[in-house]
Amino acid sequence: MGYTCDMRTPVVALGLVLAIGALTPAAAQTTGLSTPNPQTPVFVVRPNPSGPFVVVPPGTFGSRETIPFTDEPHALNNPHPMLPNAGLGYAVRQIWMPPQPVTMQVYVPTPEGVPARYQTMFAQVPGFYATETPTGVWLPERWVLDRVNVGLYQWRVAPMQFVPNGSQ
Protein backbone atom coordinates (compact mmCIF):
# COMPACT_ATOMS: atom_id res chain seq x y z
CA MET A 1 0.00 0.00 0.00
CA GLY A 2 2.95 2.31 0.45
CA TYR A 3 3.74 2.51 -3.26
CA THR A 4 0.36 4.05 -4.22
CA CYS A 5 1.21 7.43 -2.73
CA ASP A 6 4.52 7.45 -4.56
CA MET A 7 2.89 6.48 -7.90
CA ARG A 8 0.06 8.98 -7.66
CA THR A 9 2.23 11.99 -8.52
CA PRO A 10 3.70 10.54 -11.77
CA VAL A 11 0.28 9.26 -12.86
CA VAL A 12 -1.33 12.68 -12.34
CA ALA A 13 1.57 14.37 -14.13
CA LEU A 14 1.30 11.94 -17.05
CA GLY A 15 -2.46 12.56 -17.22
CA LEU A 16 -1.92 16.34 -17.36
CA VAL A 17 0.71 16.00 -20.09
CA LEU A 18 -1.59 13.79 -22.16
CA ALA A 19 -4.53 16.16 -21.70
CA ILE A 20 -2.46 19.18 -22.71
CA GLY A 21 -1.06 17.27 -25.69
CA ALA A 22 -4.53 16.30 -26.85
CA LEU A 23 -6.08 19.75 -26.45
CA THR A 24 -3.23 21.87 -27.83
CA PRO A 25 -3.62 20.84 -31.53
CA ALA A 26 -7.38 21.42 -31.35
CA ALA A 27 -6.87 24.91 -29.94
CA ALA A 28 -4.20 25.70 -32.53
CA GLN A 29 -6.54 24.88 -35.41
CA THR A 30 -9.02 27.60 -34.52
CA THR A 31 -6.58 30.49 -34.86
CA GLY A 32 -5.30 31.90 -38.13
CA LEU A 33 -7.34 29.67 -40.42
CA SER A 34 -10.04 31.01 -42.67
CA THR A 35 -13.02 29.15 -44.05
CA PRO A 36 -13.40 29.03 -47.85
CA ASN A 37 -17.19 28.93 -47.49
CA PRO A 38 -18.28 31.10 -44.58
CA GLN A 39 -21.10 29.47 -42.65
CA THR A 40 -22.65 32.79 -41.70
CA PRO A 41 -23.14 35.92 -43.78
CA VAL A 42 -20.04 38.07 -43.99
CA PHE A 43 -19.78 41.81 -44.56
CA VAL A 44 -18.15 42.99 -47.77
CA VAL A 45 -17.10 46.12 -49.59
CA ARG A 46 -16.06 46.44 -53.23
CA PRO A 47 -13.36 49.13 -53.49
CA ASN A 48 -13.90 49.64 -57.21
CA PRO A 49 -16.81 48.51 -59.41
CA SER A 50 -14.85 45.93 -61.40
CA GLY A 51 -12.65 44.75 -58.51
CA PRO A 52 -13.07 41.84 -56.13
CA PHE A 53 -15.06 41.91 -52.93
CA VAL A 54 -13.13 42.50 -49.70
CA VAL A 55 -14.40 40.82 -46.53
CA VAL A 56 -14.41 43.30 -43.64
CA PRO A 57 -15.55 43.16 -39.99
CA PRO A 58 -19.22 43.95 -39.31
CA GLY A 59 -19.83 47.65 -38.78
CA THR A 60 -17.16 48.82 -41.23
CA PHE A 61 -18.28 52.02 -42.97
CA GLY A 62 -19.73 51.24 -46.42
CA SER A 63 -20.00 47.49 -45.84
CA ARG A 64 -23.10 45.40 -46.20
CA GLU A 65 -24.13 41.79 -45.68
CA THR A 66 -23.42 39.33 -48.48
CA ILE A 67 -26.16 38.17 -50.79
CA PRO A 68 -26.41 34.46 -51.70
CA PHE A 69 -26.34 33.28 -55.34
CA THR A 70 -24.29 36.20 -56.63
CA ASP A 71 -20.56 36.56 -57.12
CA GLU A 72 -20.09 37.53 -53.47
CA PRO A 73 -18.40 35.24 -50.92
CA HIS A 74 -21.19 33.13 -49.40
CA ALA A 75 -21.56 29.49 -48.36
CA LEU A 76 -24.14 28.80 -51.08
CA ASN A 77 -22.15 30.33 -53.95
CA ASN A 78 -19.27 27.93 -54.47
CA PRO A 79 -19.99 24.24 -53.96
CA HIS A 80 -17.23 21.66 -54.33
CA PRO A 81 -16.70 20.74 -58.02
CA MET A 82 -17.74 17.12 -57.43
CA LEU A 83 -21.11 17.97 -55.88
CA PRO A 84 -24.15 17.66 -58.17
CA ASN A 85 -25.08 21.33 -57.73
CA ALA A 86 -21.68 22.51 -58.98
CA GLY A 87 -22.81 22.40 -62.60
CA LEU A 88 -20.11 19.93 -63.62
CA GLY A 89 -21.72 16.87 -62.05
CA TYR A 90 -20.41 14.32 -59.61
CA ALA A 91 -17.57 11.88 -60.20
CA VAL A 92 -18.86 8.76 -61.96
CA ARG A 93 -15.60 6.86 -62.41
CA GLN A 94 -11.86 7.12 -62.85
CA ILE A 95 -10.52 6.23 -66.31
CA TRP A 96 -6.90 5.13 -66.74
CA MET A 97 -5.30 6.78 -69.75
CA PRO A 98 -2.35 4.49 -70.54
CA PRO A 99 1.13 5.78 -71.35
CA GLN A 100 1.56 6.80 -74.98
CA PRO A 101 4.70 5.98 -76.98
CA VAL A 102 5.91 8.88 -79.13
CA THR A 103 8.24 8.80 -82.14
CA MET A 104 10.25 11.99 -82.65
CA GLN A 105 12.53 13.20 -85.43
CA VAL A 106 15.20 15.02 -83.41
CA TYR A 107 17.73 17.39 -84.95
CA VAL A 108 21.34 16.21 -84.70
CA PRO A 109 23.97 19.00 -84.75
CA THR A 110 26.52 18.61 -87.56
CA PRO A 111 29.63 20.55 -88.53
CA GLU A 112 29.19 23.58 -90.76
CA GLY A 113 28.82 22.69 -94.41
CA VAL A 114 27.37 19.23 -93.70
CA PRO A 115 23.65 18.84 -94.40
CA ALA A 116 21.35 18.78 -91.37
CA ARG A 117 20.50 15.36 -89.99
CA TYR A 118 17.53 14.11 -88.06
CA GLN A 119 17.54 11.04 -85.86
CA THR A 120 14.51 9.01 -84.80
CA MET A 121 14.08 8.88 -81.02
CA PHE A 122 11.39 7.39 -78.86
CA ALA A 123 9.78 8.69 -75.67
CA GLN A 124 6.82 7.68 -73.56
CA VAL A 125 4.26 10.18 -72.28
CA PRO A 126 3.23 9.03 -68.76
CA GLY A 127 -0.29 7.75 -68.15
CA PHE A 128 -2.82 9.40 -65.82
CA TYR A 129 -6.30 8.97 -64.38
CA ALA A 130 -9.12 11.09 -65.82
CA THR A 131 -12.33 11.61 -63.80
CA GLU A 132 -15.57 11.15 -65.71
CA THR A 133 -18.65 13.13 -64.65
CA PRO A 134 -22.14 13.21 -66.21
CA THR A 135 -21.29 16.43 -68.05
CA GLY A 136 -17.73 15.72 -69.18
CA VAL A 137 -14.25 14.63 -68.16
CA TRP A 138 -11.74 16.20 -65.73
CA LEU A 139 -8.17 15.86 -66.98
CA PRO A 140 -5.61 16.33 -64.18
CA GLU A 141 -2.26 18.05 -64.45
CA ARG A 142 -0.17 15.77 -66.63
CA TRP A 143 3.09 15.68 -68.55
CA VAL A 144 2.84 16.28 -72.30
CA LEU A 145 5.45 16.49 -75.03
CA ASP A 146 5.24 19.60 -77.22
CA ARG A 147 6.82 20.00 -80.63
CA VAL A 148 8.44 23.43 -80.33
CA ASN A 149 9.94 23.49 -83.83
CA VAL A 150 11.15 21.06 -86.47
CA GLY A 151 13.34 18.58 -84.58
CA LEU A 152 12.82 20.28 -81.18
CA TYR A 153 10.59 18.84 -78.47
CA GLN A 154 9.92 20.02 -74.93
CA TRP A 155 8.25 18.48 -71.87
CA ARG A 156 5.71 20.59 -69.98
CA VAL A 157 2.99 20.13 -67.40
CA ALA A 158 -0.45 20.61 -68.94
CA PRO A 159 -2.91 22.35 -66.59
CA MET A 160 -5.97 20.62 -65.20
CA GLN A 161 -8.93 21.10 -67.52
CA PHE A 162 -12.58 20.12 -67.91
CA VAL A 163 -13.66 18.76 -71.30
CA PRO A 164 -17.47 18.86 -71.73
CA ASN A 165 -19.01 15.87 -73.47
CA GLY A 166 -21.54 17.91 -75.47
CA SER A 167 -24.61 16.28 -73.91
CA GLN A 168 -25.90 19.53 -72.44
* pLDDT at residue number 2: 54
Residue 80 and residue 127 in contact, taking contact as beta carbons nearer than 8 Å: no
Q: Are residues 93 and 38 in the same domain?
A: no
Q: Among residues of the chain, what percentage have pLDDT more than 70?
A: 61
Residue-number span of the structural domain to which 7 is assigned:
2-65
Q: pLDDT, tens digit, for every residue of 90-136?
A: 778 899 999 999 999 988 888 888 888 889 999 999 999 998 888 88
Q: Are residues 133 and 160 in the same domain?
A: yes
Does some domain include residue 107?
Answer: yes
Domain count, the chain: 2
Residue 137 and residue 112 in contact, taking contact as beta carbons nearer than 8 Å: no
Q: Where are the beta strands (DSSP E) in 22-141?
A: 43-45, 54-56, 64-65, 93-97, 100-108, 117-125, 128-133, 136-139
* pLDDT at residue number 146: 92
Does some domain include residue 74?
Answer: no
Sorted by sequence, the CB contacts under 8 Å of residue 101 that are 6+ apart come out as 122, 123, 124, 125
Sorted by sequence, the CB contacts under 8 Å of residue 85 that are 6+ apart come out as 79
Does some domain include residue 48?
Answer: yes
What is the value of pTM for the model shown?
Answer: 0.47
Does some domain include residue 73?
Answer: no
Does some domain include residue 15?
Answer: yes
Q: Are residues 92 and 128 in the same domain?
A: yes
